[in-house]
Amino acid sequence: MPRYFTKDHEWIDVLGDTATVGITDYAQSQLGDVVFVEVPEAGRALTQGGEAAVVESVKAASDVYAPVSGEVTEGNAALADTPDLVNTAPETDGWFFRMRLSDTSQLDSLMDEGAYKEFVAGL
């Protein structure tokens, strides 16, 4: 399953025309302890680069953006009770939402893991 990254530190795992989206380990480390997460409702239409979710930490509240356009199929309900999953498992169990992609060609504008690591190293 290919994984792509955005410059806003979201990751997206793609399988066919469906995907799982979360924030990277780098992003959660910058946020600090996550205390609240608001995930999008199933059925919500998202636009690439548009606001999709909100994550609040002891430091700040931040938006999570949609890496690609599509429709939300599921929000991660576990984050309501255990928002710290974003800190302990940001790139696995701490995912934010799943979606059906409307335009898979938008994936071409995202980074692969090597390019993302290079990007973060330059920050």
- What's the confidence (pLDDT) of residue 1? 81
- What's the confidence (pLDDT) of residue 103? 95
Backbone dihedral region for residue 95 (phi beyond 0: left; psi -120 to 50: alpha; all else: beta): beta
Cα separations in angstroms, 119 against 67, 99, 114: 16, 26, 9
Percent of the chain with pLDDT over 90: 98
Model pLDDT for residues 11-63, shown as the tens digit of each residue: 999 999 999 999 999 999 999 999 999 999 999 999 999 999 999 999 999 99
CATH architecture entry for 3-103: Beta Barrel (2.40)
Model pLDDT for residues 71-121, shown as the tens digit of each residue: 999 999 999 999 999 999 999 999 999 999 999 999 999 999 999 999 999
